[in-house]
């Protein structure tokens, strides 16, 4: 069976080394030594500052919204994972969907201004599959209208644009360290903040809003990362360069074996150092995609309709929020993320490509 991804597990002995430290210290959570060490090493690896670690990527989004004190309407993308929309709704804000660019699959900056109202307080955009939004255009619009910018950067760990971490754009960039990501802590996440005070607020809000027994400073929840999860991150992080290299090689196999087919891929812009987090392909029609998906599944190969559905069509949204986003809706009906992970063998990629070719060319 070939799944869409497999978790990269480190050497067990390496992990046990950290577990012995945890057992010796007796501290499992509450900003322990390993959590602080992971925070420092991730910032050094990425080239970022002001990182607050949290227990998952969804809480990272929630805390970014809360720490930036966003209310009212937040302009956002319909082409992302459901957590992007859910966090806006969960925090009592209103998602205003703006369609995506047909080549980058990220939010279309040409459509943002028309969606701004007197109730708009922020923009929450996704670096889709780790490919960057038009960060310069978005920032220019945000500055002009005095809006905050959050990037859902769950797929963008290690991505650099013009030599700088993509995570340094916007007021906050949120990360997911879920087990399916190329860097993971089993469960975990982070918020990279432009402003140090915002990062402090994220950290404080994620530990119930208080320091010690006496200082209750802000409204807070529990978003702390445990020492067990931090230990996993510390043993996975040094392997990220080889993980990315393996994913790059696998992506190159797909490029070669699927060349010449009528399949769309996200546009790669100049100055991008990609992390090869995903290998999405967009078919000419929904019917073609479904035929390929069925043929692959019949051979125990399981791609994923990532992202589906277009978030502006979610069944629990009020009718008023379901504004038309034809590009996103079309992509969501035609896309498949193909299996991609370091342990995927060349012969398995060949099996996948042969199957796709047979269906597409037939």
Average pLDDT for 94-112: 98
Average pLDDT for 228-232: 98
Confidence at residue 24, expressed as pLDDT on a 0 to 100 scale: 97
Q: Which fold has domain 240-361?
A: 3.90.1150
Query: Is pLDDT above 80 for 313?
Result: yes
- pLDDT category at 145 given cuts 50, 70, 90 is very high
Q: What is the pTM of this model?
A: 0.96
Average pLDDT for 130-144: 98
Window from 150-154, 167-171, 273-277, 320-324 with minimum mean pLDDT: 320-324
**Tens digit of pLDDT for each residue in 175-197?**
999 999 999 999 999 999 999 99
Confidence at residue 213, expressed as pLDDT on a 0 to 100 scale: 85
Query: Is pLDDT above 90 for 107?
Result: yes
Question: Locate tokens 């002995």: which residue?
Answer: 13
- State the Cα–Cα distance between residues 110 and 101, nearest whole angstrom: 9
Confidence at residue 215, expressed as pLDDT on a 0 to 100 scale: 87
For residues 122 and 147, the answer to whether their CB atoms sit within 8 Å is: yes
Q: At what angle do helices 33-46 and 12-25 cross, to 10 degrees?
A: 140
Q: At what angle do helices 346-361 and 286-298 cross, to 10 degrees?
A: 140
- pLDDT category at 344 given cuts 50, 70, 90 is very high
Average pLDDT for 337-351: 97
Task: Tell me what percent of the residues of the chain surpass a pLDDT of 70.
Answer: 100
- pLDDT category at 212 given cuts 50, 70, 90 is confident
Give the β-pairing of 172-176 and 189-193: antiparallel
Degrees to nearest 5, angle at CA 296 with 291 and 297? 100
DSSP state of 99: P
- Cis check: omega of the bond before 16, within 30 degrees of 0: no
**Tens digit of pLDDT for each residue in 85-97?**
999 999 999 999 9
Confidence at residue 144, expressed as pLDDT on a 0 to 100 scale: 98
Average pLDDT for 141-158: 98
Average pLDDT for 39-58: 98
Domain boundaries, the chain: 12-238, 240-361
Question: What does the mean pLDDT of the chain come to?
Answer: 97
- State the Cα–Cα distance between residues 63 and 36, nearest whole angstrom: 19
For residues 206 and 222, the answer to whether their CB atoms sit within 8 Å is: yes
Confidence at residue 241, expressed as pLDDT on a 0 to 100 scale: 98
Average pLDDT for 119-137: 98
The CATH class, in words, for 12-238 is: alpha beta
Average pLDDT for 342-350: 97
**215 has which bridge partners?**
211
Confidence at residue 211, expressed as pLDDT on a 0 to 100 scale: 87
Average pLDDT for 269-294: 98
Helix (H, G, I), strand (E, B) or coil at 172: strand
Query: Is pLDDT above 80 for 254?
Result: yes
Confidence at residue 3, expressed as pLDDT on a 0 to 100 scale: 97
Confidence at residue 288, expressed as pLDDT on a 0 to 100 scale: 97
Query: Is pLDDT above 80 for 362?
Result: no
**Better pLDDT: 213 or 157:** 157
């Amino acid at each position: 069976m070939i799944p869409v991804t497999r978790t990269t597990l480190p050497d067990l002995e390496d992990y046990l080394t950290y577990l012995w430290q945890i057992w010796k210290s007796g501290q499992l959570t509450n900003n322990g030594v390993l959590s602080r060490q992971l925070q420092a090493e991730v910032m050094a690896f990425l080239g970022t500052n002001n990182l607050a670690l949290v227990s998952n990527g969804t809480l990272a989004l929630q805390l970014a919204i809360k720490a930036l004190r966003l209310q009212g309407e937040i302009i956002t993308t319909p082409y992302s994972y459901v957590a992007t929309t859910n966090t806006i709704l969960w925090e009592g804000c209103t998602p205003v969907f703006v369609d995506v660019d047909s080549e980058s699959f990220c939010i279309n900056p040409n459509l943002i201004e028309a969606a701004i109202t007197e109730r708009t307080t922020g923009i929450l955009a996704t670096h889709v599959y780790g490919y960057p939004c038009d960060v310069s255009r978005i920032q220019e619009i945000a500055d002009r209208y005095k809006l905050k910018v959050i990037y859902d950067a769950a797929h963008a760990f290690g991505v650099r644009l013009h030599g700088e971490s993509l995570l340094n754009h916007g007021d906050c960039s949120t990360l997911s360290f879920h087990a399916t990501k190329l860097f993971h802590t089993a469960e975990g996440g982070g918020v990279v903040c432009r402003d140090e005070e915002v990062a402090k607020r994220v950290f404080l809000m994620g530990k119930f809003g208080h320091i010690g027994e006496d200082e209750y400073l802000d409204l807070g929840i529990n978003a702390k990362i445990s020492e067990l999860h931090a230990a996993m991150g510390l043993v996975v992080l040094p392997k990220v360069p080889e993980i990315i290299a393996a994913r790059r090689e696998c992506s190159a196999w797909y490029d070669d074996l699927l060349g010449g087919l009528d399949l769309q891929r996200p546009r790669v812009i100049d100055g991008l150092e990609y992390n090869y987090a995903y290998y999405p392909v967009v078919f000419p029609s929904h019917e073609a995609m479904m035929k390929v998906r069925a043929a692959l599944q019949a051979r125990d190969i399981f791609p994923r309709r990532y992202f589906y559905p277009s978030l502006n069509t979610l069944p629990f949204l009020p009718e008023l929020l379901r504004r038309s986003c034809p590009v996103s809706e079309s992509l969501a009906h035609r896309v498949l993320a193909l299996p991609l992970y370091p342990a995927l063998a060349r012969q398995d990629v060949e099996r996948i490509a042969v199957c796709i070719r047979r269906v597409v060319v037939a």
